[in-house]
Chain A
């Protein structure tokens, strides 16, 4: 097993010509992407672009129709669940739960990939769980039932579980989706910390400003293909966003964070600084369909 060793050559994640079909519909086609160790890669794009499907495929939950995914040089779809789950930890988007485990038990399940059926609970396991509870600010409700938490609190618990899993590649599907502004920033800062420790993170993020602020690189998906990839300021241009989202936007610099900020314009709106609108009116129907992918 080569996962988790920072001395290993890059890239940690290599997605090569990936094509995915769900129920006969092509959802992803010809996706290429790489992520080096210690990098935070954001996936942005309109609803239905295939962001969640891409993450699920990289996690090994969906078998691709074409192409391959390698994590730390290992073809993820040829590995056992156990081997794959030591390389990739995923924080799912859907945090609804229909069971009554307490928070600590859920976080402890993150250690499952590292334990054999006969092994007891080791010091490494204990340390990983305690650290995950601390870093995600979830220790305060460690003994509460997970069903009693709010959506945002549950999302942090699932992040804690992924941390306890201690895998070199962290996948996050809308990690800030149900979080308040405080925890949005704290969660993404935590991901940045993990990345600076040598892990690689790949996150689907709706909020383009947050994506630009925290990610090293962005991949813009539209209609199942990559339309742009690179540093945030290269990807989040008014023309790229107009093509992908079908929305008129103004791209400016956020005066506080000094990162790219994207403001969508409504029909008939013009930028307040008097600039002329650079995009046509939004095409009806685009960017509003939510297939849940």
Chain B
């Protein structure tokens, strides 16, 4: 079976899984709705002139209440799984995740500062704008710190990322100490949450994410060659430093866009790429699209669990609580450390 056929088969299968997860998730909540009604409600959405009809209340619950949150979870899942895949390949390091160069820590500083500090930010920056901006600035700063004479060794980049994350962690702790009444909001944000999603937030990430995803997919072959090592990649016609800059910049913006909207949702970007690598192999031409689809299903499913208990918990707790044991299982049973 050629790579193209395998990619199409896996993508079709995972799309079906995602559709099923979406329908089941949209049926779960204070009012439970049977899957068939959910499907009809989804297909009756305004932009689809398919002539399907569903009861008005089910329609409102599915389309206006639950779907924005589910759609956001799906997009953020795509973003984190994609960025995680790229970072693991880029660093040739199984522990790499989307935040390895400090994007999440930067976003957290931006978000927590807007919540805690008593003055308004200039230019009317809202929490999400501040988080996004701080995330991108952090990634860029780490890149500049690690770059000398036009070369950015990945080992230096990794260590610079760790050091900057530690430094920003200190700032977050300091802000937390002075957060007073708003500490609950801060902690909630830091754990990652998808509650209270509006279609507006979904629209932003739905516009930003797809083009960036296709840029990364466009570089899948270069990413494969980079896995052989930078000198070999150079010998095989890859413009190493330029490719590294593009991969870093795009995956950092992808991560920042996700984290700024939802807060820090851990583990998705680490375990989804590993799980898919075990299933489809290390070739990024198949790994990137399948990880993206699996990431969407994973985050929609975990967020459904997060909101369906007696009291809603931040989804970051669920991804870590479910993801870590699953990851340890993979680690013990198969050779998950191989990229």
- B residues near A112, Cβ cutoff 8 Å: 221, 225, 236-238
The answer to whether A117 and B234 have CB atoms under 8 Å apart is no
A110 to B228, CA, bound (A): 12
Residues in chain A near residue B339, CB distance under 8 A: 98-100
Whether the pair B237, A81 counts as a contact (CB closer than 8 A) is yes
Most chain-B Cβ atoms within 10 A of its Cβ — which of A81, A106, A113, A117? A81
In the assembly, what is the distance between CA of A101 and CA of B239, in Å? 21
Closest chain A residue, CB of each to CB of B220: A117
B338 CB within 8 Å of chain A: yes
Which residue among A56, A82, A86, A100 has the maximum number of chain B CB atoms within 10 Å of its CB? Answer: A100
Q: Which of B215-252 contact A (CB under 8 A)?
A: 218-219, 221, 224-225, 227-228, 231-232, 234-240
9-residue interface stretch from A88-96, A220-228, A277-285: A88-96
B234 touches A60 (CB 8 A): yes
**A200 interface residue (CB < 8 Å to B):** no
Least CB distance from A71 to B in Å reads 13
- Do A101 and B231 have beta carbons less than 8 Å apart? no
Closest approach, in angstroms, between the C-beta of A49 and any C-beta of chain B?
Answer: 20
Query: In the complex, which residue of chain A has the Cβ closest to the Cβ of B241?
Result: A81
A108 CB to closest chain B CB (Å) equals 9
Closest to A161 in B: B236
For the complex formed, measure the closest distance between the CB of A130 and the CB atoms of chain B, giving whole angstroms.
14
Q: Is B13 an interface residue (CB 8 A)?
A: no
Residue of A nearest to B239 (CB): A81
With a cutoff of 8 Å between Cβ atoms, the chain B residues found around residue A165 in the complex are: 236
A residues near B237, Cβ cutoff 8 Å: 81-82, 84-86, 112-113
A97 at the interface (CB under 8 A from B): yes
CB closest residue in chain A, given B2: A121
A88-B235 CB under 8 A given contacts A99-B338, A101-B283: yes
Q: In the complex, are the beta carbons of B235 and A105 less than 8 A apart?
A: no
Taken together as a complex, chains A and B put the C-alpha atoms of A210 and B26 apart, in Å, by: 71
Known A-B contacts A99-B338, A100-B339, A101-B282; A89 and B224 likewise in contact (beta carbons under 8 Å): no
In the bound complex, residues from chain A placing their C-beta under 8 Å from that of B227 are 99, 101
Task: Using A81-B240, A117-B221 as known contacts, say yes or no to A98 and B234 having CB atoms under 8 A apart.
Answer: no
Among A88, A109, A110, find the residue whose CB has the most chain B CB atoms closer than 10 A: A109
Residue pair B92, A98 in contact (C-beta under 8 Å): yes
Cross-chain contact A82 with B235 (CB below 8 angstroms): no
Inter-chain contacts of A109 with B (CB < 8 A): 224-225, 228, 236
A100 touching B281 by the CB < 8 A rule?
yes
Q: Is the CB of A61 within 8 A of B231?
A: yes
Q: Do residues A59 and B235 form an inter-chain contact, with CB atoms below 8 A?
A: yes
A105–B237 Cα distance when bound, in Å, is 16
- Shortest Cβ distance from A176 into chain B, in angstroms? 20
Contact A98 B338 (CB under 8 A): yes
List, in ascending order, chain B residues with CB within 8 A of A105's CB: 224, 283
**Least CB separation from B89: chain A residue:** A99
Instruction: Give the distance in Å from the alpha carbon of A98 to the alpha carbon of B94 in the complex.
Output: 11
A98 to B224, CA, bound (A): 12
A283 CB, nearest partner CB in chain B, Å = 34
Q: How far is the CA of A50 from the CA of B224 in the complex (A)?
A: 30
Chain A residues with CB under 8 Å of B238's CB are 81, 112
The 9 closest A-B pairs by CB, nearest first: A113-B237, A85-B237, A82-B237, A112-B236, A61-B231, A99-B227, A90-B235, A112-B237, A100-B282
Q: List 11 interface pairs A-B (beta carbons < 8 Å), by A numbering.
A: A56-B231, A80-B239, A81-B239, A84-B237, A99-B92, A99-B339, A101-B224, A101-B281, A102-B281, A112-B237, A165-B236
- Not counting A82-B237, A109-B224, A109-B228, a sample of 9 additional A-B residue pairs whose C-beta atoms are within 8 angstroms of each other reads A81-B238, A81-B240, A86-B237, A99-B228, A101-B227, A101-B282, A112-B225, A147-B338, A165-B236
Which residues of A come within 8 Å of B, CB atoms?
56, 59-61, 80-82, 84-86, 88-90, 92, 97-102, 105-106, 109-110, 112-113, 115, 117, 147, 165
**Chain B residues proximal to chain A, CB less than 8 Å:** 92, 218-219, 221, 224-225, 227-228, 231-232, 234-240, 281-283, 338-339
